Amino acid sequence: MDNRPQWGTRAGFVLAAIGSAVGLGNIWRFPGTAYDNGGGAFFLPYLFALLTAGIPLLILEFTIGHKHRGSAPLSFARVRRGAEWMGWWQVAIAFVISTYYSVIIAWAMSYSVFSFKLSWGQGDTVNFLVSDYLKVAKAGEIGSLVPGVLIPLIITWVVTLAILFAGVKKGIEKANKIMIPALVVLFLIIVVRALTLEGAVDGLNAFFKPNWDMIAKPQVWVAAYGQIFFSLSIAFAIMVTYSSYLPKKSDITNNAFITGFANSSVELLAGIGVFAALGFMAHQQGVPVDKVVSSGVILAFAVFPEIINQFPALNGLFGFLFFFCLVLAGLSSLISIVETFIAGVQEKFNVSRKLAVSVGGGLSALISLFFATQGGLNFLDVTDEFINQFGVALAGLFEVVFFAWFVKQLNPLKQHADAISDIKLGAWWKICLSVITPIVLGYMMYGKFKERIV
Ligand code: PFF
Ligand code: NA
């Protein structure tokens, strides 16, 4: 029909979708979020969000991409001319994310090397990242690069763009077929090792202890939905783009379930591993576990180096594995983020893939240099928060309202998915997308705006 690139195998597509979903969000975001929002009790809102928003939206995006065979702007435009901007908005979000996500991968890369030397914070990157995180830039140093970040940043971009250059099947699919199995095996090794540390049980107790009072709080549900959206890479134009490369006969619904559950499994595993390690650290310091809990950049680049230093044996290797897993998880997500906007540009301006990769990827790489400076570091957190809280939730809200209420496409899309999938979609799918998800996202946005304005 056309010469659109295609995945070679079903596993190739599923691994690429999992590669996009499983990222830094699973490893450093989920454990802390779960702990802060009720521990064991958080699993209730989390599962609810996964089943009512995560997987239904994944099915929606897979079906849109498969049916309309275009990246988000083109697919949305094929549904209705005036909807193209919605796709570009998602593409713009993806572009912004790529400019700083790449910098975090670069840090992880340099930390995997630091692990072997066990030297953190001797005047290198760590001082800038950690010592009073985000208040690091001294006057006069604002424009200079964080030490040690340039080479790994260049490597990150060269690898990513080389994979994208090679195309969907020979590049993205092949890379994910290697990276994702490797990530799972290495990560399992780390988690099992962490579980055998002294104090690990205390960490797990702290993580799983349910605080049932929390589930009455709206912000806990908001946190669960936020985690699911970011973690499954939905409303980022990515899953539409990836599924637009599916062959005609593809089981959409089943693939969505596999992707959703695989991503959540990695989150659960990360929670167990991270809290086992935090339990160990609390044990070493003779303090309760809640004194050492953290997440995000601090967890990965401040707390983990400390844990690695105190490791009973083979600490260099353990440290290397941990940061290497971050690199693998991050790279497979970055590839999907960049693919999203180069696909959009390629289709819009009818240019070759190589040109789109060079220009689009090159531009993002150039901007990423800003976040690699000491001044840029200050903006990384702010940008990330803004993008996640407003960009994504709002894009997701528009997307579901548009398809469910404006163009009323849920029935035709359901027919499309059902015709090629084993699992047939029930009424639950439509109810989730047309009622539950819009209400929750609308409530989220309302809360966020009120918070800003008042
Ligand atoms: N889903 C990825 C994670 O959990 O880390 C993050 C992510 C990937 C966010 C791709 C955005 C994106 F476009
Ligand atoms: Na994820």
| Residue pLDDT, tens place only, 113-152 | 888 877 765 445 555 555 444 444 454 555 666 777 899 9
N-terminal to C-terminal alpha carbon distance within the chain: 54
Taking residues 432-439, what's their average pLDDT? Answer: 96
Which residue, by CA, sits nearest to atom 13 of ligand 1?
A: 337
Counted residue by residue, the chain has a size of 454
Which pLDDT score, from 0 to 100, does residue 445 have?
Answer: 83
For the chain, domain boundaries = 15-453
Distance in Å, CA 101 to ligand 2 centroid: 13
Helices (H) and strands (E) in the chain, counts: 24, 0
AA identity, residue 243? S
* pLDDT higher than 90, residue 51: yes
Taking residues 56-74, what's their average pLDDT? Answer: 97
* pLDDT higher than 90, residue 102: yes
Taking residues 6-24, what's their average pLDDT? Answer: 97
- Phi and psi at residue 139, in whole multiples of 5°? -55, 140
Token code pair at residue 17: 């979708």
DSSP 373: B
Residue 336 Cα: closest atom of ligand 1? 10
Separation between Cα atoms, residue 330 and residue 183, nearest integer Å: 11
pLDDT per residue over 372-404, tens digit each? 887 777 777 778 878 877 777 889 999 999 999
* pLDDT higher than 50, residue 24: yes
Q: What ligand is nearest to the CA atom of residue 329?
A: 1
Token code pair at residue 395: 């894009």
Residues with CB under 6 A from ligand 1: 20-21, 23-26, 94, 97, 230-231, 233, 236, 238, 333, 336-337
AA identity, residue 179? M
Token code pair at residue 306: 């400390």
Separation between Cα atoms, residue 257 and residue 118, nearest integer Å: 41
Taking residues 3-19, what's their average pLDDT? Answer: 96
Token code pair at residue 65: 């991409």
Nearest to 103 by CA among 377, 320, 306, 403: 377
Domain 15-453 has CATH 1.10.4160: yes
- Phi and psi at residue 6, in whole multiples of 5°? -135, 150
Please, which residues have CB within 8 angstroms of residue 373's CB and are 6 or more apart in sequence?
Answer: 142, 143, 144, 145, 146
Distance in Å, CA 249 to ligand 2 centroid: 27
Contact present, 277 and 319 (Cβ < 8 Å): no
Residue 330 Cα: closest atom of ligand 1? 5
Contact present, 138 and 343 (Cβ < 8 Å): no
Q: What does pTM read for this prediction?
A: 0.93
CB neighbourhood size of 394 (10 A): 18
Which pLDDT score, from 0 to 100, does residue 141 have?
Answer: 58
Contact present, 431 and 397 (Cβ < 8 Å): no
- How many Cα atoms occupy the beta-carbon half-sphere of 404 within 13 Å? 20
